[in-house]
């Protein structure tokens, strides 16, 4: 067993604004469950989970305490450290000395951390990086590893601008032996990135291996990625539920305590968070509605993300848009393609395609 599993949950998630103004990225739900809970569950297979938090850290601390109690500790960063600095901060704060699992707390995946750990021990290297295959056109978004027939990483390029002969991307899960952790820069070195600064440094001194995961994996860094993660999870779970007087086109996930009025149509590819109330004649397709959403009679939502506690008035239309937490949309308002509405505001008139209301 690893001594500790450090779950990194400190980023600002700027590409997920305006949703991330009030909700840290690791708390974005997939099938009604925050991403960080999925990660904690997997890390707990082989190690005691510890969460490293910074942005909206009190929100993360409150969630972890309520959901996991004393089983998961939270260590807060007092300044931006980068993911590498966050690891060092946790190691020093808790006096850790053994091998570590490190995992990004904002990745949705069915990767087996136990399988990663067993591969690492068998390979005998000081470092193992989990890798996933990505489409060739997306290679430039990730750190890319070139791996030999024995699984050893021969080259690692962060966000390459030209082909490197591989499409194996950094999946954001690592195993580090103590001798590798000892090579991490001091926390006073500024923001230190694992992929950009530390992995190349470790490859000069140690054997680094790649564990290839061939299942679900999504970095929910953008609105479209977030929707894709939920849709892939829907496909895997085969979610379906019957409600009297409601047409369900699977796959559809409906959380606890949800009410849906007669004549409504949900699906395909719809997530409705717990405690939501949808009136009669509501139509939702290819969308995620977070917890506590109210959609009144005749509301229409397509290919959109609707934040927690949003109220959509009668005959509202939300099409390919993002509406952040706590928004009230008046009756018959249209929110158009590519538009976004910031949190905790009232929308009284149409929001044009591409318009941003901060």
- Write out pLDDT tens, residues 87-130: 999 999 999 999 999 999 999 999 999 999 999 999 999 999 99
| Phi/psi at 178 (5° precision) | -55, -35
- What mean pLDDT, rounded, does the chain reach? 93
Q: Please tell me the pTM assigned to this model.
A: 0.92
List 130's β-bridge partners, or say none.
Answer: 211
Give the torsion sign (CA, 287, 23, 188, 206). Answer: negative
10 Å Cβ neighbour count for 320? Answer: 18
Q: What is the pLDDT of residue 160?
A: 85
User: With 80 as the cut, is the pLDDT of residue 189 above it?
Assistant: no
User: With 80 as the cut, is the pLDDT of residue 186 above it?
Assistant: no
Give the list of residues 6+ apart from residue 329 with CB closer than 8 angstroms, or none. Answer: 310, 311, 312, 313, 316, 318, 323, 335, 341, 346, 347
Name the residue with tokens 């848009």. Answer: 321
Q: How confident is the model at residue 137 (pLDDT cuts 50, 70, 90)?
A: confident
**Predicted confidence (pLDDT) per residue in 262-290, tens digit:** 999 999 999 999 999 999 999 999 999 99
131 CB-contact burial (10 Å; exposed 0-12 / middle 13-18 / buried 19+)? buried
Q: What is the pLDDT of residue 80?
A: 80
Residue of higher predicted confidence among 313 and 83? 313
Mean pLDDT, residues 300-311:
98
Highest mean pLDDT among 74-83, 156-165, 250-259: 250-259
List 283's β-bridge partners, or say none.
Answer: 265, 300
Q: Which of 42, 33, 89, 93 is nearest to 63 (CA)?
A: 33
Q: What is the pLDDT of residue 81?
A: 86
Give the list of residues 6+ apart from residue 249 with CB closer than 8 angstroms, or none. Answer: 265, 266, 267, 268, 285
CA distance 316 to 350: 9
Ranking 21-30, 55-64, 77-86 by mean pLDDT, the lowest is: 77-86
Q: What is the pLDDT of residue 197?
A: 87
Query: For the chain, give me the number of helices (H) and strands (E)?
Result: 7, 32
Mean pLDDT, residues 199-225:
93
User: With 80 as the cut, is the pLDDT of residue 187 above it?
Assistant: no
Q: What is the pLDDT of residue 168?
A: 95
Q: How confident is the model at residue 295 (pLDDT cuts 50, 70, 90)?
A: very high
């Amino acid at each position: 067993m690893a001594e500790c599993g450090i779950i990194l949950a400190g980023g600002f998630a700027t590409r997920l604004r305006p949703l991330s103004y009030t909700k840290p990225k690791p708390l974005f739900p997939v099938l009604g469950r925050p991403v960080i809970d999925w990660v904690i569950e997997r890390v707990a297979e082989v190690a005691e989970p510890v969460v490293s938090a910074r942005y909206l850290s009190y929100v993360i601390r409150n969630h972890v305490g309520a959901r996991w109690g004393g089983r998961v500790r939270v260590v807060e960063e007092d300044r931006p450290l980068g993911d590498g600095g966050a690891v060092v901060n946790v190691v020093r704060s808790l006096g850790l000395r053994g091998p570590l699992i490190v995992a990004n707390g904002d990745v949705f995946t069915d990767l087996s951390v136990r399988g990663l750990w067993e591969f690492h021990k068998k390979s005998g290297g000081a470092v193992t990086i989990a890798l996933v295959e990505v489409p060739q056109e997306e290679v430039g978004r990730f750190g890319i590893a070139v791996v030999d027939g024995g699984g050893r990483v021969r080259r690692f390029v962060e966000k390459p601008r030209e082909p490197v002969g591989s499409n194996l991307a950094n999946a954001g899960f690592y195993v580090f032996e103590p001798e590798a952790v000892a090579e991490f820069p001091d926390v006073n070195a500024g923001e230190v990135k694992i992929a950009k600064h530390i992995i190349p440094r470790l490859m000069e001194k140690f054997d680094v291996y790649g564990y290839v995961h061939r299942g679900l994996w999504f970095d929910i860094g953008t609105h479209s990625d977030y929707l894709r993660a939920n849709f892939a999870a829907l496909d895997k779970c085969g979610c379906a539920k019957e409600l009297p007087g409601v047409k369900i086109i699977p796959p559809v996930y409906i959380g606890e305590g949800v009410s849906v009025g007669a004549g409504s149509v949900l699906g395909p590819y719809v997530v409705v968070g717990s405690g939501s109330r949808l009136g009669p004649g509501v139509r939702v397709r290819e969308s995620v509605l977070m917890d506590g959403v109210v959609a009144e009679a005749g509301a229409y939502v397509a290919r959109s993300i609707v934040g927690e506690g949003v109220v959509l008035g009668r005959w509202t239309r939300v099409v390919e848009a993002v509406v952040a937490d706590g928004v009230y949309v008046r009756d018959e308002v249209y929110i158009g393609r590519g538009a976004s509405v910031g949190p905790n505001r009232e929308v009284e008139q149409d929001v044009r395609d591409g318009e941003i209301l901060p």
